[in-house]
Amino acid sequence: MTADETPCPPIRLLLVDDHPMLRDGIAALVDRETDMEVVGEAANGTDAIAMFEALAPDVTLMDVQMPGLSGIGAIEAIMQASPEARILVLTTYPGDAQALRAIRAGAAGYLLKNCIRKDLLDAIRSLHSGGRAMSAEVAHTLAAHSLNDHLTPRELSVLKLVAEGHPNKQIAWKLELSMDTIKAHLKSAFAKLGVDDRTHAVTIARRRGYIDP
C-alpha cells in the first residue's frame, strides 16, 4: 500500500447466539484478523433486530435455535427493513428444511458450527463482497432432497403433535379435523419422508429440520 492509499475499513460484524461461549470463541477468532471486527452481540432474535437497527453491521452472524424469537424470524424482520443486509446463519443442524427457510427468509450464507474454525472467515469475506457461502454438507443435503415434495403446513402441524406424543384422536381434536383426515396427512407425510411409522417419521423430520430437536 502506498502513502496515498487509504486502508479499507474493517468488516463490521454483529454476533447473534444464545451461547456466550460460542460468541466469545468467534470474537477471539475475529480479533486476530485485521480486516474485520465485532461491533455488537445479541442473545436472541428480538435483541438482534434492535442491535442491527442501531449498528447497521456489514455482516450479521445468526444462530437459528434461540429462545423467544427464532433466528428465522429475526432474519425475516431484518431483511424486510434492510433488504441489503448480509446474514450468515450459523447452526448445529444440517437439515434441508431449516436451511431452505433461512435462505427464503433472506440469508446469504448457511454454515455449520463445526465448520467455524475452517470456513467462517472466508464465508464472512465472501458475504461482504456480495457472494454466498454454504457448508458442503448442507449443500449436499439440499441437493439430495431438491426434487422431493416438502411437507405442507398441515402435515407439519400433525407431525409436531405426533412428536409431542399425542395419539391420532387427540391430534384430530386439537386441529378440529376428522380421524380420517389425520390419517391421510400422516400417510402423505410418511411417503414424503420415506418412512413407514410415526417414530421414524419424527426422527427424519427432526434430522431434516422440519421439527426442532
**CATH numbers and ranges of domains, the chain:** 11-144 (3.40.50.2300), 153-207 (1.10.10.10)
Average pLDDT over residues 152-161: 89
Q: What percent of the chain has pLDDT over 90?
A: 55
Question: Which of helix, strand or coil describes residue 109?
Answer: strand
Give the H/E segment covering residue 33.
none
Closest C-alpha to 15, from 153, 113, 131, 143:
113
Helices (H) and strands (E) in the chain, counts: 10, 6
Residue 91 cell numbers, joined:
447452526
**Sheet strands side by side (includes 11-16):** 36-42, 11-16, 59-63, 87-91, 109-112, 133-134
pLDDT at 34 over 70: yes
Assign 55 a pLDDT band (cuts: 50, 70, 90).
very high
Going by the DSSP 8-state scheme, the letter that residue 128 receives in this structure is H
pLDDT at 51: 97
| Per-residue pLDDT tens over the stretch 114-136 | 889 899 999 999 999 999 998 88
- How many Å apart are CA 45 and CA 65, to the nearest integer? 9
* pTM for the whole structure: 0.72
